Amino acid sequence: MTNIPSLVLALAQKEPSDTFYTHAPEWTWLVVVYFFVGGIAGGSAFLGAMLDLFGAPQDRPIARLAYLVALPLITIGGPLLIWDLNRPERFWHMFIQSETGRPMFKYWSPISFGAWGVGAFGLFALLAGVGALAEMGLLPRALRALREGPLGKIISALAGLFGLFVAGYTGILLAATNRPLWADTSLLGLLFLLSSISAAAAALILLSWRRGHPGSLHWLSQMDAYSSVLELVTLIVIVVSLGSVVREVWGNGWGVLLAVGTVLLGILIPLALHFRPRLAGRMSLPGAAALVLIGAFVLRAVVVLSSEAV
């Protein structure tokens, strides 16, 4: 009968992957930063929509804040992607067939449906963000309609759904290659999604921990903890299932960085602070949140750059 240690040993001794015969696409720091800001933007919109649609009136300020985080971050993310192209002046070829003028959409290509998904998310993040600014009295009163009634709920729901898409598709985009690590697991989408929700909750906590309603902050902290636990489990499953690929890609400084930066600083210590808030007193909440953000950034940097380095 196969026991767990022998299964782990068998996985670790798997034949080298066929992904080691490929070239790196040179997706580097611009992509890492995009994955980070795009993930927080998408996760924020999801959390904002949850509070908007199912929360209490006391959650309204945090929901507003969530959209006001999502909008600028995705506004930064789009140009980062364009800047990363070798021919940025042709970025519109992602959306329009340059020779025929027809829409360019390939649902089976993550980078193609990703471009459309980011565009759609940008639109709903803009509507929700404008509504939030109007609600705060910074834009004409008429624009409050974007946050009220059925229209407001539809905008929130779509911003949240497209936000979830943006939070997770980046991992699937990496998996839809033939590169070491990226293509050796199909769990990167899930990993990035969970990390994005965790990082978004952390960002919202950091921005509101002094003035936010305790009930809203508690819920955000809970979401952060849930997603961190699931993220840790997903990461462990990835490491075990990768077998010998782990040795090749993470059996070096990248692996150390992942273990220290993401697992220890970004997941374990924040979870300890969540369950034992007295450890750092009043600074437990913001301290844990700051560490989660560091961990989320390190995770993306390690996943992207360690494969690029092979």
Partner 1 sequence: MAQTAQGTPAASAQGSPSTENFPAGTPVIVEGTPALGGSPMPGGSPPPPGTPVGAMVGTPAALPSPADNTAAFPAAVPFDAVPMGFYTDTTVCIGCKACEVACKEWNGLSSYNGGVNLLSGDSYDNTRRLDGEHWRHVKFIEQFDDTSQGRQGRWLMMSDVCKHCVHAGCMEVCPTGAIIRTEFDTVVIQSDVCNGCRACIGACPFGVIEINPTNKTAMKCTLCYDRMQAGLTPACAQACPTASIQFGAIDDLKRSAQQRLEQLQGLGETRAQLYGADDKIVGGLNSFYLLVDEPEVYGLPAAPKLPSRNVPTGGLMSTAGAVAMGVLGLVGLRKRRMDQFAAERAGAEDGTTRRDEEVTGD
Query: By the criterion CB under 8 A, which residues form the site for partner 1?
Result: 18-19, 21-27, 46-47, 50-51, 54-56, 84-88, 90-91, 93-94, 97-100, 102, 104, 106, 108-112, 115, 164, 168-169, 171-172, 175-179, 182-183, 185-190, 193-194, 197, 215, 218-219, 222-223, 226-227, 230, 234
> For residues 17 and 262, which CB has a smaller minimum distance to partner 1 in the complex?
17
Give the tokens for residue 102.
Answer: 């027809």
* CB count in 10 Å sphere of residue 265: 17
Q: Are 188 and 174 within 8 A, CB to CB?
A: yes
Provide the minimum distance between the beta carbon of 54 and partner 1 in the complex, in angstroms, as a whole number. Answer: 5
Provide the minimum distance between the beta carbon of 90 and partner 1 in the complex, in angstroms, as a whole number. Answer: 4
Count of CA atoms in the C-beta half-sphere (13 A) of 269: 20
Provide the minimum distance between the beta carbon of 52 and partner 1 in the complex, in angstroms, as a whole number. Answer: 11
> For residues 102 and 282, which CB has a smaller minimum distance to partner 1 in the complex?
102
> For residues 133 and 202, which CB has a smaller minimum distance to partner 1 in the complex?
202
> For residues 133 and 155, which CB has a smaller minimum distance to partner 1 in the complex?
155
Provide the minimum distance between the beta carbon of 75 and partner 1 in the complex, in angstroms, as a whole number. Answer: 20
- Alpha helices (H) in 176-268, listed in sequence order: 188-208, 214-242, 244-250, 253-257
Rounded-to-integer distance, Cα 107 and Cα 114, Å: 9
C-alpha closest to that of 111 among 36, 204, 174: 174
Q: Which one-letter DSSP state was computed for residue 96?
A: B
